Structure 1
Amino acid sequence: MLYFFILLAIVIIATVVFLQSPKFGSLPKGKRLATLQQLPNYKNKQFQNIHPTPDLAEDVTYWKVLKDFIFNKNKHLKPTQPIPSKKTNLHALPINDDVLVWFGHSSYFFQTDGIKFLVDPVLSGAASPLPLSVQSFAGTDVYGVHDIPNIDYLIISHDHWDHLDYKTIKALQPNINKVICGWGVGAHFEKWGYTAEQIIEKNWNEQFTLHQGFTINTVPARHFSGRGLQRNTSLWQSYALKTPTKNIFIGGDSGYDTHFKTAGEALGPFDWAILECGQYDYSWKYIHMMPHEVLQAAADLKATQLLPLHWGKFKLANHNWYDPIVTLTQLSNNTIPIATPMIGETLQLQQTPTVQKWWEPLL
């Protein structure tokens, strides 16, 4: 019994020490905490979704989810061959080219009307605080921090590990002009060496100007946040970016809800809707969209073109790794142009995309 308590004490101490690691970031405190405590969507020490959003579907238990993850013998959760990719020299792109380059999952670079943006970059090869868990698929790590040019605006949708990566963010700091994020997320950036002057921290339904002709509206999402034991201490959100020539919806993670239609009516139509389409499951249907809901969200946004992300790099759900894009393109039945670039390929934002089924040889 003595040995048991000694072992338990060691585990507890090790866990406490581990949670103090810089990669977990920082909880809001001081003036930042006082500010967010006054926000209408912050109640009971947490940010709240517009509508009640349970972690799991009503007829699902945590034991069922855990059992599925442990005993699922699906052979197609990860690709058996390296994911194909291309390598674009982002430093050499002509400034007048309006292009987007996907890095896999929810990370991408784009430049439009002479301004460079970077969204949710995870370039360290992992999407977890544990070194050997949630590793990127073979072939998907063709870009590193050294490949990223100076960025005018780094946009962060929320602070989950597969969207906010400590190693990447820390190394990028000299390359970043401004960071745009939800309230509370700025605490992580300041912990990691960013200055208060670099951080633009906003709540839902705010509008602000970037450059002449560039405005952003922050849009609610239906999700949650947290990097450690405490949840929802920072805000998750989407963005509507208006440039001199385009209107782009930058989605982040979100379950389906009325906010898409509200954004479409108030801020649409959109030239591009960039939406998550993977890591879904009926068990957590309220916090991630199923494929048919992605199409409905694009329709709600009055989007002309759709770029589906949140797939192709990390295994976070129990569906086949290729299911998100295969199911989405089949369901769409050509009702909306869908872009399916390979990792690293340049997507021309001024052109109508076509579905390129680069994944089919890997099935």
Structure 2
Amino acid sequence: PVPLLRPAPVPQVAPERELSVVWYGHASTLVEVEGHRVLIDPVWSDRCSPSASFGPRRLHEPPVRLDELPPVDAILISHDHYDHLDMATVGELTRRQSAPFLVPLGVGAHLDRWGVPEDRIVELDWSQCHRVGGLEITATAAQHFSGRGLRRDGTLWSSWVIAGAHRRVFYTGDSGYFDGYAEIGAEHGPFDVTLMQIGAYDRAWAGIHMFPEEAVAAHLDLRGELLLPVHWATFNLALHDWAEPVDRLWAEAKARDVRIAVPRPGERVVVDDPPPVDGWWQAVA
């Protein structure tokens, strides 16, 4: 079994510039930056599929229930694939949270059909931004595609920049490696932490999902400080072993002197503390 941890409690009075990340599994992540909380690509369902009976099933339970999440200030969606946009999870968050959903162009139509109030849907094109409290959140480019069911590319996909007064976070969404990372790094970087997609790769679709070695290269292009891998260990979406992505990432990061954190699902990482990298996945695999 993939080991889970309950997230450590956040101090009632967190340091003004503190930045932390809780990875819940796959791409679902909570970023806590300068007193604000941003929830990214939340998927709590048992399967990432239009069916509750068929499709990729979770390798581990979510480390917390949706009703145990703290209040969040924004919910980001990178694109409308089932492993990033989950109808049941969106419905629960609509009832339990009051935060706006920030989504790429066209994705708001899904949320509207699922009962999300119009005033909680913010659609952004690449390079557009939206302020949430003290954060500026910007939709940035990615090299991927979109679609649910038989329809394809009717909505946009994006990566995201979360910028506070002092700290900056980048999330890839799903993407192949491309020149846009250097452009994003030049315009929005440097980043205190990058949340990098590393799993579900294959030579047949190298243009839309990065290999782990490319994730390290993209992190350097972005001018990132700490690399935290996402999009692995929860759903089996490719032919490689579930733990292979992080093994390859760890080797490449060590070779290129890149600082990485590999938390267990649910483990809270304070970006300025020594990062957790203890090889826990090797003992499980």
Question: 2:212 is matched with which residue?
Answer: 291
Give distance in 2, aligned partners of 1:146 and 1:120: 16
Deviation at 1:354, TM superposition (A): 4.2
TM-score by length of 2: 0.93
- The counterpart of 1:187, out of the listed 109, 117, 128, is 109
Describe how 1:142-157 pairs up with structure 2 within 5 A: 142-157=63-78
Q: What SS does the corresponding residue of 1:260 show, helix, strand or coil?
A: helix
Question: Does the C-alpha gap of structure 1 residues 99 and 144 become closer, same or farther in structure 2, counting only changes over 3 Å?
Answer: same
Describe how 1:215-226 pairs up with structure 2 within 5 A: 215-226=136-147
Describe how 1:1-363 pairs up with structure 2 within 5 A: 82-88=1-7, 94=12, 96=14, 98-130=19-51, 131-137=53-59, 139-174=60-95, 175-212=97-134, 214-333=135-254, 335-363=257-285
Deviation at 1:142, TM superposition (A): 2.8
Q: What SS does the corresponding residue of 2:148 show, helix, strand or coil?
A: coil
Deviation at 1:151, TM superposition (A): 1.5
Give distance in 1, aligned partners of 2:55 and 2:146: 19
Give distance in 1, aligned partners of 2:113 and 2:272: 38
Q: What SS does the corresponding residue of 1:273 show, helix, strand or coil?
A: strand
Question: Does the C-alpha gap of structure 1 residues 244 and 351 become closer, same or farther in structure 2, counting only changes over 3 Å?
Answer: farther
Deviation at 1:99, TM superposition (A): 2.4
Deviation at 1:352, TM superposition (A): 4.3
State the identity %.
Answer: 34
Give distance in 2, aligned partners of 1:93 and 1:108: 19
- Equivalent pair of 1:337/1:352 in contact (CA under 8 Å): no
Structure with the larger strand share: 2
The runs of at least 4 consecutive aligned structure 1 residues that moved more than 4 Å come to: none
Deviation at 1:93, TM superposition (A): 5.4
Give distance in 2, aligned partners of 1:192 and 1:297: 35
Question: Does the C-alpha gap of structure 1 residues 169 and 292 become closer, same or farther in structure 2, counting only changes over 3 Å?
Answer: same
Deviation at 1:291, TM superposition (A): 1.4
Give distance in 2, aligned partners of 1:195 and 1:93: 32
Larger radius of gyration between Structure 1 and Structure 2 = 1
Question: Does the C-alpha gap of structure 1 residues 192 and 93 become closer, same or farther in structure 2, counting only changes over 3 Å?
Answer: farther
Q: What SS does the corresponding residue of 1:264 show, helix, strand or coil?
A: helix
Unaligned ranges ≥5, structure 2: none
Structure with the larger helix share: 1
**CA-based RMSD:** 1.6
Cα deviation per residue 1:12-33 (whole Å; 9 max; x = unaligned)? xxxxxxxxxxxxxxxxxxxxxx
- Equivalent pair of 1:116/1:152 in contact (CA under 8 Å): yes
Q: What SS does the corresponding residue of 1:151 show, helix, strand or coil?
A: coil
Aligned length: 279
